[in-house]
Amino acid sequence: MSFQALQDRFLWRLRAPLSAGEVRRTERWLASARVFLAVSSVVAIWLDPGEIRYSPWVYWVLVFYIVHGVVIMLLVRFRQQSTVAFRVLAHAADILWPALISVFATAQSNPFFLFFVFVLAAAAYRWGLWETLGTATMAVLLLWFESLMFHAGFITWLNGVLVNHGWLPLQVDLADYEPKRLFMRSIYLLVLGLLLGYLAEQQKQLRAEKAVIARTLSRARVESGLTGTLQEIAGEMVSMYGSKHMVIASQEVRSHHLFVGELRCENGDPAFHWLDPVASDRQLYLYDSPGVACYAWRRSWNDGEQFSVLALDQEGAKVRDLDPQFLTRLAEKYDFRGLATVSFAFGHEWTGRIFLLDPGLAGDTEEELRFLQELVRQVGPAVYNVLLLRRLRLRAGAVERARFARELHDGAVQSLIAVEMQVDVLRRQSTVKPALVTEELGRIQGLLREEVLKLRELMQQMKTLDVDSKKILGLLADTVERFQRETGINARFFSQVEELNMPQPVCRELARIVQEALVNVRKHSHARQVLVRLTTDHGACNVTIEDDGRGFPFSGRLSQDELEATGKGPLVIKERVRVIDGELTIESTPGQGSRLEISIPQRRDAAYG
């Protein structure tokens, strides 16, 4: 594997660094495993002292190892963060301990071989492939260094020193350090380090890819619009791959309308803008090809430059014998040494292709293409959702504007025209019938007062409600109080609860329901008293609007299903109750009043945000 591939893997890890909490959690697990391993070793040699050739020195070594593990455990537990230097020093000590213990027991079947496994697993947990291989190499070098020292007479000299001071000699079997035995142990360690490091590297690469996809997905925001979202995502991709130029070509399936946009990094700032496509651009960008993801690079030959192409199909398998003719046309328009392309599709509505010019692909190009393909597959639906949501917002805005225009035309405008005509009649009759003028002016004043109320209600509906569970009670109280002040109808608000526990969209819809109900009371009921009550029962929020007016044109109590089946009841309120998955019940007594009951489950979001 080349140095560039090694550097590329290192960069992948930097794109998803471990948080301080994750590092501390890893160190805590390793510290606990270290102490558990040492205690288990003491129990093992107590059960079978023959494993260590009955050497008492092993007990002292393991005692020091236990103390070492406990100290590290305490440091990890009480330190606020685990620094790189601390982890490196702890890992270096972990490499030395197995080499020291192996002096007394080195056989592969010996339980103390787990000390080597632990230090390799620790390197894999902390870092990745190359660090684990480096740890295995250092452990092997220490074993061979010990073998060299022992065969040079170091053990004989050390035993003599110990005996002269009245201590027991070391019981070391030099046969365990013969090259033929040590060679196999070295192979075991290197293979084990390779496998553990590879598994750790794969896990870290998957984690990094997941973080990259999540970071790119976070760039898709409805408030930024389609162009802003594409600029953010394209900027993330060119930064990720070190490219300076990116082209996005898409086509609407139904209308065959072609859209081409490009992003260029100028002075370090990516700038995205749409181009004016021509007829030939469709064949240039949206050519037919079995390769969903491709990477092409220029090669120099005696007869000029040619292209080499690596292509993958929809399933990620290689495509053989791909015609590189499309690259010739692209090379005539753009100057590049390497080119990565990937196709995308948004449902059955949009298709297109992304072009990354001179991307910094390294390591396994095929794997890089597969990741690019997966990245586009994951990010594509998010971009499509932004497009759909923007389209829905535009349509909803158009419908809302049309409704307001209709309200103004059928309400205020018609009334003002009628007032203008009546004023003209009064002007003509003012000299002939002066007594009639006073009566008519009073009627016109009442009509104008009514239209002022209607315009205020319309303006109130146009306002964006910023209300949540903490503000909803105050807003409802203010709404009822303003209704009484403006209409003269005696209105009261009563709440059994101090705070509701409902999401913001539900609170907003609840406020709109109460406003709409009060508007209907003023317009149609001719009521003298209104009561708005808010209670809770069995985890549900109950809202009641009761008046003593004319009631609805039916008698009795109807549930929401019965209202829907018969087409009775206020349409707007029924729709808003359905949005928050509530239940509407209307009780009406013609000539005596009506009662609206809305039951709303708590902790439930609105169906349409």
Say yes or no: 162 and 258 in one domain.
Answer: no
Whole-angstrom distance, CA of residue 341 vs CA of residue 335: 15
Say yes or no: 386 and 274 in one domain.
Answer: yes
Mean pLDDT score, 574-592: 88
Displacement of CA 558 from its chain's centroid (Å) = 44
Q: How do residues 468-517 score in pLDDT, each as one tens digit?
A: 778 888 889 988 998 888 788 899 999 888 877 788 888 888 888 898 89
- Whether 202 is covered by a domain: the verdict is yes
Whole-angstrom distance, CA of residue 311 vs CA of residue 370: 10
Q: What are the CA-CA distances from residue 147 to residues 144, 171, 281, 437 (Å)?
A: 5, 15, 71, 123
Mean pLDDT score, 334-349: 86
Q: Determine the pLDDT at residue 594.
A: 93
What is the band of 407 on the pLDDT scale with cuts at 50, 70, 90? Answer: low
Q: Determine the pLDDT at residue 174.
A: 67
Structure tokens at 292: 């969903």
Give the three-class secondary structure for 451: helix
- Whether 449 is covered by a domain: the verdict is no
Q: How do residues 362-382 score in pLDDT, each as one tens digit?
A: 667 888 888 888 888 888 888
Structure tokens at 481: 């109080």
Least-confidence region, from 19-23, 305-309, 505-509: 19-23
Whole-angstrom distance, CA of residue 274 vs CA of residue 288: 23
Write a three-state SS string for 358-421. CCCCCCCHHHHHHHHHHHHHHHHHHHHHHHHHHHHHHHHHHHHHHHHHHHHHHHHHHHHHHHHH
Say yes or no: 496 and 349 in one domain.
Answer: no
Percent of the chain surpassing pLDDT 90: 8
- Whether 443 is covered by a domain: the verdict is no
Instruction: Look at residue 417 and tell me whether its pLDDT is greater than 60.
Output: yes
Question: Based on the structure, what is the number of domains in the chain?
Answer: 3
Q: Determine the pLDDT at residue 175.
A: 66
Say yes or no: 81 and 10 in one domain.
Answer: yes
Buried (b) or exposed (e) across 57-89, using 16+ Cβ within 10 A?
bbeebbeebbebbeebbeebeeeeebeeeebee
Instruction: Look at residue 387 and tell me whether its pLDDT is greater than 50.
Output: yes
Instruction: Look at residue 606 and tell me whether its pLDDT is greater than 50.
Output: no
List of residues 6+ apart from 244 with CB closer than 8 A = 238, 264, 265, 357, 358
CB atoms inside a 10 Å sphere around CB 16: 17
Instruction: Look at residue 320 and tell me whether its pLDDT is greater than 90.
Output: no
Mean pLDDT score, 244-251: 89
Say yes or no: 49 and 165 in one domain.
Answer: yes
Domain boundary among 163, 186, 215: 215
Hunting for tokens 């109320």 — which residue is that?
A: 453
**Amino acid at site 229:** T
Say yes or no: 531 and 578 in one domain.
Answer: yes
Whole-angstrom distance, CA of residue 121 vs CA of residue 135: 10
What is the band of 14 on the pLDDT scale with cuts at 50, 70, 90? Answer: very low
Closest by CA to 377, choosing from 284, 314, 290, is 314
Instruction: Look at residue 300 and tell me whether its pLDDT is greater than 70.
Output: no
Q: Determine the pLDDT at residue 108.
A: 47
Say yes or no: 384 and 265 in one domain.
Answer: yes
Instruction: Look at residue 296 and tell me whether its pLDDT is greater than 50.
Output: yes
Taking the chain, what is the end-to-end CA distance rounded to the nearest angstrom?
51
Q: How do residues 553-562 score in pLDDT, each as one tens digit?
A: 889 999 988 9
- Whether 206 is covered by a domain: the verdict is yes
With beta carbons less than 8 A apart as the criterion, state whether 541 and 500 touch. Answer: yes
Least-confidence region, from 61-65, 229-233, 303-307: 303-307
How many Cα atoms sit within 13 Å of 511 on the Cβ side? 26
Q: Determine the pLDDT at residue 438.
A: 67
Domain boundary among 391, 424, 451: 391
In 208-256, where do the E strands start and end?
245-252
Q: What are the CA-CA distances from residue 517 to residues 280, 520, 584 (Å)?
A: 59, 5, 12
- Whether 438 is covered by a domain: the verdict is no
Rounded to the nearest integer, the mean pLDDT of the chain is 79
Say yes or no: 209 and 227 in one domain.
Answer: no
- Whether 268 is covered by a domain: the verdict is yes
Domain boundary among 215, 234, 263: 215
Whole-angstrom distance, CA of residue 338 vs CA of residue 333: 14
Strand partners, 340: 295, 356
- In the sheet where 258-266 sits, what is the strand order? 269-275, 258-266, 245-252, 350-357, 338-346, 293-301, 304-312
Strand partners, 599: 542, 583
Least-confidence region, from 376-390, 424-438, 452-466, 539-553: 452-466
- Whether 427 is covered by a domain: the verdict is no
Q: Determine the pLDDT at residue 373.
A: 87
What is the band of 325 on the pLDDT scale with cuts at 50, 70, 90? Answer: confident
Closest by CA to 376, choosing from 273, 237, 268, 512, is 237
List of residues 6+ apart from 465 with CB closer than 8 A = 475, 508, 511, 512
Say yes or no: 590 and 504 in one domain.
Answer: yes
Say yes or no: 174 and 277 in one domain.
Answer: no
Say yes or no: 299 and 380 in one domain.
Answer: yes
Instruction: State which of 49-58, 404-413, 584-593 shows the largest mean pLDDT.
Output: 584-593
Instruction: Look at residue 527 and tell me whether its pLDDT is greater than 60.
Output: yes
What is the band of 540 on the pLDDT scale with cuts at 50, 70, 90? Answer: confident
The CATH number of residue 519's host domain is 3.30.565.10
What is the band of 586 on the pLDDT scale with cuts at 50, 70, 90? Answer: very high
Strand partners, 263: 246, 272
Beta-strand relationship, 529-537 and 490-495: parallel
Beta-strand relationship, 245-252 and 258-266: antiparallel
Say yes or no: 93 and 193 in one domain.
Answer: yes
Instruction: State which of 109-113, 162-166, 322-326, 563-567 shows the largest mean pLDDT.
Output: 563-567
What is the band of 355 on the pLDDT scale with cuts at 50, 70, 90? Answer: very high
Mean pLDDT score, 174-196: 82
Instruction: Look at residue 64 and tell me whether its pLDDT is greater than 70.
Output: yes
Range of the domain at 229: 223-391
With beta carbons less than 8 A apart as the criterion, state whether 120 and 192 touch. Answer: yes
Q: Report which of residues 369 and 453 the model is more confident about.
A: 369
Q: What are the CA-CA distances from residue 415 to residues 396, 455, 526 (Å)?
A: 28, 12, 20
Whole-angstrom distance, CA of residue 609 vs CA of residue 606: 6
- Whether 429 is covered by a domain: the verdict is no
Q: Determine the pLDDT at residue 7.
A: 45
Element (H, E) at 594: strand 593-601
Q: How do residues 94-108 score in pLDDT, each as one tens digit?
A: 888 887 777 765 444
Closest by CA to 189, choosing from 252, 142, 248, 139, is 139
What is the band of 232 on the pLDDT scale with cuts at 50, 70, 90? Answer: confident
Residue 324, φ and ψ in degrees, nearest 5:
-85, 25
The CATH number of residue 232's host domain is 3.30.450.40
Write a three-state SS string for 14-53. HCCCCCHHHHHHHHHHHHHHHHHHHHHHHHHHHHCHHHHC
Whole-angstrom distance, CA of residue 407 vs CA of residue 413: 9
Residue 110, φ and ψ in degrees, nearest 5:
-75, 140
